Amino acid sequence: MTRSVYVTGIDRGDGRQVIELGVMELLTRHVDRVGVFRPLVHDGPDRLFDLLRARYRLTQPADSVYGIGYDEAAALQAEQGTDELVSRLVDRFHRVARDYEYVLVLGSDYAGTSLPDELSLNARLANEFGAAVIPVVGGQGQEAESVRAEAHNAYRAYDSLGCDVVALVVNRVAPGLREAVAERLAARLPVPCYALPEDGALSAPTVAQIVHTLGAEVLLGDDSGLARDARDFVFGGAMLPTFLKALTPGCLVVTPGDRADLVIGSLAAHSAGAPPIAGVVLTLDERPGPDIMALASRLAPGTPVISVPGGSFPTAGELFAIEGKLNAASPRKAETALGLFERHVDTTELTNRISVARSVRVTPMMFEHELIERSRAGRRRVVLPEGGEERVLRAADVLLRRDVCDLTLLGDEEAIRKRAAELSMDLAGAQIIDPQTSPLRERFAERYAELRAHKGVGYELAFDVVADVSYFGTLMVQEGLADGMVSGAVHSTAATIRPAFEIIKTKPGAQIVSSVFFMCLADRVLVYGDCAVNPDPDAEQLADIAIQSAATAAQFGVEPRIAMLSYSTGTSGSGADVDKVRKATALVRERRPDLLVEGPIQYDAAVDAAVAQTKLPESDVAGKATVLIFPDLNTGNNTYKAVQRSAGAVAVGPVLQGLRKPVNDLSRGALVQDIVNTVAITAIQAQGAQPGAGHTAG
C-alpha cells in the first residue's frame, strides 16, 4: 500500500518550503519512487515542485502533481459542496499514489484564497488520503510563550479533526529563542516537536529575483553574480568616505545612476573584499558613461550592475517587499535549507514516525544520500589542498551548508576569501591555511626530512617541498591535524598520491595502494577495481586488490561477492592472462576463506543471472557479483567509462584503498557533486581508520 505524508500549516508565512524540502530529502534517502501531490494550486509556475523535480530527478509528469486550482475549488465548493470537492481531490490523489511507493502531499498555503476554513479542508484531505500529518507553525517575530501556544493550538486543531499527527515543526523562530521554544514544546505535546531558527540567507532575495521583480535591466554581471543573495540594502546619498563605512557584507547598493563615485567605490570595495557586495542598483534610469562602465567591469568581473527607471524611494519600497524563495534557480538556498532542517530535526526519529521502509533497490541518489548522512554522523576534518579552485570552493560551500564535515582549505587566504566573496560564498565555517606562511611549515619540514632521510632529504630541501599544497595537506593528515585529504581537481594523480606513498604509506596487510569506483546503476551499486592506479598487477597484487575492494565495499554497505574478471569463464580458457586471474582467485580463497569469490569469470556471467545459470550454475557469485576486479588498468578504466557513459551510471571515485589514512584523488574533470561525494567518502573512511577527529591547526 502506498504511504503518504501531508505537510500543512495554519497560516501563511511559515516558510513551510524548508520542511517540505527536508521531508522530500528523507523520503528519497530510503524510497526509490516518490511522488508529489499538491491538492490546491495557484496559477503560474510552481517553484517548489520545479526545485524538487530538478534536485531529485523526478520523472513525474507535472500535470499529475496538481489537483484543482484555487478559484475552481472555491467555485466547486460553493456550488456543489465540500464533499464533491474532496471527492475529486481524493480521486486525483489516488491516480498519483498507484504509481509511487510514497507520496509527499503539499498542503494549501493560505495565501489569497477564498476557501472557507482552509485548515479543516487540509485535515479532511489528509484523513481521506490516509496520510500522516506534519503541521508547520510560523514563529517569526513572536516570543517563546506565544510560539508555544500557537503550536499547541495547531496540534489540537489537527488532532481534534482526526488526523494522524506524527510530528510538529515550528519554523522561523528567532535564533535566540530556539532552545527555549524547543524545550517548551517537548514538555507540552505528545508528539516530537522541532524548532527551526530564522535564517537570513533563506529570506534574502537573490539579485536575479530582484531583477525579475523590478523589471530591471542588467548592465553588467554573470549568472554567478545574479545568484548572489542580497542580505541588506544600502542607499547611496552621502559622500564616498561616509558611504563606504555603511557597506555591509552581501549588501545591495542602491544609488542614483549619476553617482559614478559611489558605483566605482562600492565595486572597488568589493574587489578588495572589504566588504563583498551583492551588486549595484542604478535608479532614475541614469547610467554612468561607457568609460565608467568599462572600469566597473574590470574592477569586479561578474558583479551585477542593474538599472531601474524609478527613484530610490519607490525602489526601496519594492525591495523591502521581496522575500527570498526556494526554487530551482537557487540551489545554494536549498543546501542552506537542508542544512537547517538536518541540524534541528531528528531525521531518524521523523523517518520512523512517517513509516518509511527502505526500498530493496539502491538508486544513485539513495547512495549519495547515504554518504552525506554517514559522513555527518561521525564528523571528521578533511583537507582540500586546491582551496582557490572554483569547483572546490563550490563543493566546500555545499559541504558547509549541509554540515557534512569540518574543512581545511589550503592556499593564499586573501585570494581564497576574495574568490569566495566573488562567488557569494560564506567560508566562515572553514579553516584556511597558507602553507607558505603557516607556522606548521617548519614542523612539517622537520618531519618530512626525518621520513625521507634515507633518500638524502635534508631540512632545507624539505622546507621547500612541504610548501607544496599536496605535501602540506598529506602531512596534516599524517600528523593528525586532518583526518583525510581530497585533491586532484587541478593536480595530476601522481601529484596527489605520491606524497601519500612517501609519507602515509600502506597499512599493515596491504601490499599495494589500489582504487575502486562505486558504479551506481539504476537499481544497485557495484564496486569496480582497480580502474585508476595499477597498470598491470600480478596475481599477488590482483588478490590484494580484490581483498581490499571487498573491505571497501563492506564499509559502504555493499555486501561483497567478488568476481575476478577475465575473457573466459571457469575452465573454458587458457593462457597467461587467464592463468593470472585463476591464481589470484586461489590466493583470495586461501587468504580470506570467508569471502565469496569466483574466477576467472566473464563480465556477463558475473552480473547476469541468466548467463550465470548457463555458464556457472552452481556458483554463489555468478549472476550476483557486487565487486568486480579487472585484470589490468586498461580493461578496468575503459569498462568503467563505457558503463558510465552508455548505461547512464553515476561513477563515484576513484576511492583509494590500502593507505594507513585516507587520501583520495579527483578526476580533473570532476564536477562539484563529484567532489562533495569524494569528500564524504573520505570522511567515512576516516571514521573507520582512526578513533578521533582531527585537531585544528593554524
Q: 140-154, 362-376, 440-454: lowest mean pLDDT where?
A: 362-376
Here the CATH number for the domain that contains residue 82 is: 3.40.50.300
Helix (H) or strand (E) holding 40: strand 34-41
The candidate with the shortest Cα–Cα distance to 356, out of 26, 18, 11, is: 26
Tens-place pLDDT, residues 116-167: 788 899 999 999 898 999 999 988 888 888 888 899 999 999 999 999 999 9
pLDDT at 695: 38
Tens-place pLDDT, residues 247-274: 988 899 999 988 999 999 999 988 887 7
Here the CATH number for the domain that contains residue 265 is: 3.40.1390.20
Boundary of a domain, candidates 154, 181, 198? 198
* The pLDDT of residue 70 is above 50: yes
Helix (H) or strand (E) holding 572: none
- Does any domain span residue 697? no
* The pLDDT of residue 207 is above 50: yes
| % of the chain residues with pLDDT over 70 | 97
24 and 169, same domain (yes or no):
yes
145 and 218, same domain (yes or no):
no
Tens-place pLDDT, residues 268-297: 988 887 788 889 999 988 888 899 999 998
637 and 524, same domain (yes or no):
yes
- Does any domain span residue 330? no
293 and 411, same domain (yes or no):
no
Query: What value does the mean pLDDT take over residues 664-686?
Result: 89
pTM, two decimal places: 0.77
8 Å CB contact between 660 and 526: no
Quickly state the pLDDT bin for 698 (edges 50, 70, 90): very low
Tens-place pLDDT, residues 29-68: 888 889 999 999 888 888 889 999 988 888 898 889 999 9
- Integer Cα distance of 194 and 648 in angstroms: 39
Query: What value does the mean pLDDT take over residues 465-471?
Result: 93
- Does any domain span residue 75? yes
Boundary of a domain, candidates 198, 231, 260? 198
pLDDT at 693: 37
Tens-place pLDDT, residues 390-415: 999 999 998 998 888 999 999 998 88
Count of the separate structural domains present in the chain: 4
394 and 490, same domain (yes or no):
yes
464 and 577, same domain (yes or no):
no
Here the CATH number for the domain that contains residue 529 is: 3.40.50.10750
Query: What value does the mean pLDDT take over residues 670-686?
Result: 91
Boundary of a domain, candidates 503, 527, 546? 503
Cα-to-chain-centroid distance, residue 440: 32
Here the CATH number for the domain that contains residue 447 is: 3.40.50.10950
Helix (H) or strand (E) holding 171: strand 168-173
- Does any domain span residue 674? no
C-alpha cell at 93: 490523489
62 and 176, same domain (yes or no):
yes
35 and 68, same domain (yes or no):
yes
pLDDT at 321: 85
pLDDT at 696: 40
400 φ, ψ (degrees, to nearest 5): -70, -40
- Integer Cα distance of 81 and 77 in angstroms: 4
pLDDT at 691: 39
pLDDT at 503: 92
- Integer Cα distance of 484 and 662 in angstroms: 5
* The pLDDT of residue 72 is above 70: yes
Strand partners, 137: 170
Q: What is the 3-state secondary structure (H, E, C) of 396-435?
A: HHHHHHCCCCEEEEECCHHHHHHHHHHCCCCCCCCEEECC
- Does any domain span residue 641? yes
pLDDT at 73: 86
Q: What proportions of the chain, in percent to the nearest 5, are helix, strand and coil? A: 45, 20, 35
- Does any domain span residue 696? no
Q: What is the 3-state secondary structure (H, E, C) of 494-540?
A: HHHHHHHHHHCCECCCCCCCEEEEEEECCCCEEEEECCCCCCCCCHH
Query: What value does the mean pLDDT take over residues 84-112?
Result: 88
Query: What value does the mean pLDDT take over residues 514-542?
Result: 90
Domain that holds residue 53: 3-198
pLDDT at 689: 58
- Does any domain span residue 356? no
What does pLDDT average to over the chain?
88
Beta-strand runs (E) in 275-385:
279-283, 305-307, 381-384
pLDDT at 694: 40
What string of DSSP letters covers 181-207?
A: HHHHHHHH-SS-EEEEE--HHHHSPBH
pLDDT at 167: 94
